[in-house]
């Protein structure tokens, strides 16, 4: 085992609606705030990871930020990209290849593209002649929301999961957003509110779907040795792993199991923890079903029992597994991809800096990013102590 690795800086841009800021500006604003949070300078950043849109994205970002990194990671697997980045950064710092790495993301998804991501051709489905296997799904009229809906439908069929149980995930997440002054939607909602919102793709209603926002996020990782000299209590990366099962939903195979069943156990084993040790779960919540299926795959609850578990209020602050205390993608912010926000929120929680959203005494947090159409899963375990 090599050097211990810590998250030492986190930054969020303005948000959730920033029509006057470009994606590059959102990245730069959150990066600047993460540097300030860490007490570091631009010259301290030796490595950069990012995922975005277009060729050599991360190289353009480096130039824009005034960086000349000797370590780069451009893994681009949708919303889970940033958990892959954190895992790779952890490994590179642990091994001694590099000391200090920034992971950044920013997008003006809402201001530039409106709410087209899920059903308007902005999400790789329903767009114009998409590449790869989407070529076969586009002419059917399939949507991004439809892919998740199809998987949720199968889970309901196999395990008796109900629309009410899925809705309860949105309800609890909204309770968290209610405490977060920066969240996009803060008014409390009920299960009936979710079920009476319009169906977008059966069985998913509008309020089963994440928000579309603008926003940028950045985190900075470095060695424990450097972290000890900085302002904040270090938050340790204890383990990480990734997994992939498919790209297009027709190739998913068993739609009730994701690659989190692979990445979760590997990450937990490296971190030396069990699911019962986890104090905070930062779940990718593109849709309510994303939370349900990854809760099961990560082993927080046996397969098929996610529905009763969430309906029991387990995701609340003070519940069995406080989940997305910042209000998640379902209510807080989701600028196209959200994986980096999970790492940011987990760090705030483990520092004890989360204010009204704080999970008291949190020592272990798990971030699970999901990309594509449940296609890729990245799991990262953070803790207040090293492995």
Interface ranges with another protein (CB under 8 A): 116, 119-121, 126-129, 133, 135-143, 145-146, 149-151, 153-154, 157, 198-203, 248-251, 255
Nearest to 202 by CA among 157, 158, 146, 120: 146
Nearest distance in Å: CB 379, another protein: 25
| Residue count (the chain) | 387
d(CA 18, CA 65): 20
Nearest distance in Å: CB 302, another protein: 21
Nearer to another protein, 158 or 312 (CB): 158
- List beta partners, residue 52: none
Q: Which helix (H) or strand (E) holds 199?
A: strand 199-201
d(CA 100, CA 345): 20
Nearer to another protein, 129 or 276 (CB): 129
Nearest distance in Å: CB 306, another protein: 17
Nearest distance in Å: CB 248, another protein: 7
Burial of 131 (0-12, 13-18, 19+ CB in 10 A): exposed
Nearer to another protein, 126 or 243 (CB): 126
Burial of 91 (0-12, 13-18, 19+ CB in 10 A): middle
Nearest distance in Å: CB 199, another protein: 5
Nearest distance in Å: CB 120, another protein: 4
Nearer to another protein, 1 or 128 (CB): 128
Nearest distance in Å: CB 138, another protein: 7
Q: How many CB atoms lie within 10 A of CB 1?
A: 7
Nearer to another protein, 248 or 331 (CB): 248
Nearer to another protein, 247 or 348 (CB): 247
d(CA 24, CA 28): 6
Nearer to another protein, 350 or 374 (CB): 374
* C-beta separation of 30 from 85 below 8 A: no
Nearest to 147 by CA among 234, 57, 246: 246
d(CA 274, CA 241): 15
């Amino acid at each position: 085992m090599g050097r211990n690795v810590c998250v030492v800086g986190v930054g969020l841009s303005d948000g959730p609606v920033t029509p006057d800021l470009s994606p590059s500006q959102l990245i730069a604003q959150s990066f600047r705030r993460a540097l300030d949070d860490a007490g570091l300078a631009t010259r301290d950043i030796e490595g950069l990871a990012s995922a975005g849109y277009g060729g050599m994205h991360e190289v353009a970002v480096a130039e824009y930020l005034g960086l000349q990194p000797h370590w780069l990671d451009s893994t681009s697997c949708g919303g889970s990209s940033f958990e892959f980045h954190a895992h790779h950064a952890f490994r590179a710092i642990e091994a001694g290849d590099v000391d200090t790495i920034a992971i950044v993301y920013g997008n003006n998804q809402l201001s530039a593209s409106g709410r087209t991501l899920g059903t308007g051709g902005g999400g790789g489905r329903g767009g114009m002649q998409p590449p790869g296997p989407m070529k076969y799904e586009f002419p059917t009229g399939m949507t991004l929301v439809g892919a998740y809906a199809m998987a949720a439908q199968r889970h309901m069929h196999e395990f008796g999961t109900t629309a009410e149980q899925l809705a309860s995930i949105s309800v609890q997440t909204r309770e968290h957003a209610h405490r977060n002054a920066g969240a996009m939607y803060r008014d409390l909602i009920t299960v009936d509110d979710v079920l009476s919102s319009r169906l977008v793709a059966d069985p998913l209603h509008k309020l089963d779907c994440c928000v579309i926002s603008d926003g940028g996020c950045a985190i900075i990782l470095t060695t424990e040795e450097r972290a000890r000299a900085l302002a904040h209590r270090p938050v340790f990366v204890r383990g990480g792993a990734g997994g992939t099962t498919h790209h297009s939903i027709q190739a998913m195979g068993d739609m009730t199991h994701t690659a989190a069943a692979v990445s979760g156990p590997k990450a937990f084993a490296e971190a030396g923890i069990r699911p019962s040790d986890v104090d905070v779960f930062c779940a990718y919540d593109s849709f309510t079903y994303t939370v349900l299926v990854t809760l099961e795959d990560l082993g927080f609850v046996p397969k098929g029992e996610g529905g009763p578990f969430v309906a029991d209020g387990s995701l609340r602050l003070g519940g069995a597994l406080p989940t997305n205390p910042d209000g998640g993608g379902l209510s807080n912010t989701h600028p196209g991809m959200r994986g980096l926000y999970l790492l940011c929120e987990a760090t705030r929680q483990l520092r004890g800096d989360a204010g009204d959203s704080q999970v008291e005494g949190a020592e272990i947090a798990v971030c699970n990013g999901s990309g594509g159409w449940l296609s890729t899963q990245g799991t990262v375990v953070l803790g207040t102590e090293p492995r």
